[in-house]
Structure 1
Amino acid sequence: MDQALQIIARGPRDQAEAAAVAIDSDPALEGATYSILEEDEDRGVWRIDAYPTSDEEAEALQAALAPFGLKVSTEALADADWLAMALSGLPPVRAGRFFVYGAHDRGRAPPSTVNLRIEAGAAFGTGHHGTTVGCLLAYDALLKARRFERVLDVGCGTGVLGIAAARTGSKAVVGTDIDRVSVRIARENAALNRADARFVHASGLGHPQVRAQAPYDLVFANILAGPLIMLARDIHGALKPGGLAILSGLLRSQERRVLAAYLSKGYRLRSRLHRDAWATLVVQRL
């Protein structure tokens, strides 16, 4: 791809969410980067922004969006460090007791919160996305009743969830990601926050460091609906009886399908949280 592109699709919420499901379900778009958000509440307009990295991915995204009646446009992006520019304008995020910020906001961290300095680099999870905030809010609610000694963070991204666990008293925290860059960034963030959390490059839950700390009191899995469903049995095996899993990375429209997979594998629903188009589920191993 000679020129960086942004594909923008606008329309009603149900059509935008259906298009997002189509993107998530397309094997050719497994690694595609996109966001979905409410652009105009008064007019009921939702927006998908997608950033293809190849001509083939751009064509696949256009094909996935076409059936849903959205107004689709394509814009060329000028050469720039878009990630750095975006992060420089991101405000800090408050999620319950947690305050997530970047280097540009280091002077704004309150003394009364658990302050997490998270630098994204090329990894997902600055704390601004609805799924990350949902996980932090769900975890904050759980912490009001108990602590979790052993925590696993599946698909750790920047490591923010595992670091949050380590900073709130968890004695053994392990995070995994299929992306080596994310693992490196998570380790750097753990060092920045003086958090005793280990992050390893792994697909699935078979890594020796993951097995060594099992069974876990709590598992974070902020990934995608398809992998969440596929990992339902493995997460069950990694949890202690009565252990909890915080599941996110799924749209509200995908919630029933993901929950059904977990209920069928021996979990019960403890709570759910909705933020924008996203859902976070807290389930407990029976």
Structure 2
Amino acid sequence: MSQDAVQIIARGPRTEAETAAAAIDADPMLEGATYSILEEDEDHDIWRIDAFPTTSEEADGLVAVLANYPKLKTMVEKLADADWLAMALSGLPPVRAGRFFVYGAHDRGKAPPNTVNLRIEAGAAFGTGHHGTTVGCLVAYNDLIKSKRFPRVLDVGAGTGVLAIAAARTGSKTAVGTDIDAPSVRISRENAKLNKAGARFVHASGLGHQLVRQDAPYDLVFANILAPPLVALSQDIKLALKPGGFAILSGLLRTQERRVLAAYLSKGFRLYRRLHRDAWATLVLRRA
């Protein structure tokens, strides 16, 4: 496949689409692949996967995985030589999640006066607030802070930084975000400045970085990443939390929920709440 920017689109029944998405998550060669899955036509049970590969190898891998699901109609479209990501984001409406109102520069002036307004510019980072996993995390956090306070918060896989910024804007004295992607760290720092939020971000893989460990144990840990790293990090997230602390986990499909939950229950966590949005799940867990 050429080096030109492409978008891969697959349409089909929900069961087939969710199974294909799970296969993408399980493929170690596609661990960093960017894709979304959503319901396109409820009446006809048509779900849609949109993938945006960054290399020809990743594009070939995605096409190969999707080819295993004959009920999906898959096509590859070349993207115009333009800032297509910015163009796509410019058409996204603002998002309300509990007390939080997430918007981009194109929606300045629309923020209500009685909400926690978060201006988030995505660039090349994940987490504008539109994805079901990000919304799930914000709604779960919104409900928790109705009765609890979390002075120290860690956001694993921060992306745009929206979750750490939301924590900093609602009273967390320490809000730390980590990401393995350097551009995401840069973008999250820029977003923190835009929102005048005292959140700091660290370029790190895992939770072992000194700037992450120095504020542990945390009262709450966000981890809005993929299912395989959620499972792999279950022990590290436990150790990063104080006893009785909360973990809000997302980035997983409903079909992956049981696997992720089992990993955390085996580490002594208890299920506090689960939320579903479209095909995605968010788990709220408490360390015993």
- Secondary structure at the residue paired with 1:122? coil
Deviation at residue 30 of structure 1 after TM alignment: 1.4
Distance 1:3 1:199 in 2: 32
**Mean alpha-carbon deviation: is it higher for 257-266 or for 57-66?**
57-66
Match in the other structure for 1:149: 151
CA RMSD of aligned residues (A): 0.8
Residue 82 of structure 2 corresponds to residue 80 of structure 1: yes
Shift of 1:3: 2.4
SS of 2:108's equivalent? helix
For 1:41, give the aligned amino acid.
Answer: E
Q: 2:38 maps to which residue?
A: 37
Instruction: State the match for 2:236 in structure 1.
Output: 234
| 1:2, distance to aligned residue in structure 2 (A) | 3.7
Which of 190, 194, 218 is the matching residue for 1:192? 194
Q: 1:257-276 residue pairs with structure 2 within 5 A?
A: 257-276=259-278
- Equivalent-residue separation in structure 1 for 2:81 and 2:122 (angstroms): 20
Deviations 1:158-197 (A, max 9, x none): 0000000000000111110000111111111111111011
Aligned partners of 1:114 and 1:213: how far apart in 2? 25
SS of the residue 1:147 aligns to = coil
CA distance in 1, matches of 2:152, 2:3: 47
Structure 1 unaligned runs (5+)?
Answer: none
Task: Report the equivalent of 1:64.
Answer: 65
Cα deviation per residue 1:234-254 (whole Å; 9 max; x = unaligned)? 110010100000000000000
1:68: how far off? 1.6
Query: What displacement does 1:67 show?
Result: 1.5
Correspondence for 1:170: 172
Give the alignment's TM-score, normalised by structure 2.
0.98
In structure 2, the partner of 1:220 is 222
Q: Deviation per CA, 1:218-246: give whole Å up to 9, x if none.
A: 00000000000011001100101000000
3-state DSSP of counterpart to 1:68? coil
Matched, 1:8 2:9: yes
Distance 1:242 1:2, change over 3 A: closer
Whole-angstrom distance in 2 between the partners of 1:204 and 1:210: 9
Q: How many pairs does the alignment contain?
A: 286
Single out whichever of 32-41 and 68-77 deviates more from structure 2. Answer: 68-77
Cα separation, 2, equivalents of 1:52 and 1:197: 30
What's the TM-score, normalizing by structure 1? Answer: 0.98
The 2-side partners of 1:83 and 1:76 are apart by 14
Question: 2:205 and 2:171 mapped to 1: Cα distance?
Answer: 27
The residue identity in structure 2 corresponding to 1:274 is H
Post-superposition shift, 1:63? 1.1
1:180 alignment counterpart:
182
How many angstroms does 1:54 deviate by? 2.5
Question: Could you say if the C-alpha distance between residues 58 and 42 of structure 1 is closer, same or farther in structure 2, counting changes exceeding 3 Å?
Answer: same
Alignment correspondent of 1:129: 131
Counterpart code for 1:216 = Y
Structure 2 unmatched ranges of 5 or more? none
Match of 1:284? 286
SS of 1:219's equivalent in the other structure is strand
- Structure 1 distance, partners of 2:36, 2:55, is 18
Q: What displacement does 1:52 show?
A: 2.1
| Amino acid in structure 1 at the alignment position of 2:285 | V
1:80, distance to aligned residue in structure 2 (A) = 1.4
Between 1:156-165 and 1:65-74, the stretch displaced more is 65-74
SS in 2 for 1:109: coil
Of 55-64 and 229-238, the range deviating more from structure 2: 55-64
Shift of 1:66: 1.3
Percent of aligned pairs with the same amino acid: 77
Secondary structure at the counterpart of residue 67 of structure 2: helix
Q: Distance in 2 between matches of 1:54 and 1:62?
A: 12
Identify which range, 133-142 or 47-56, moves more after superposition.
47-56
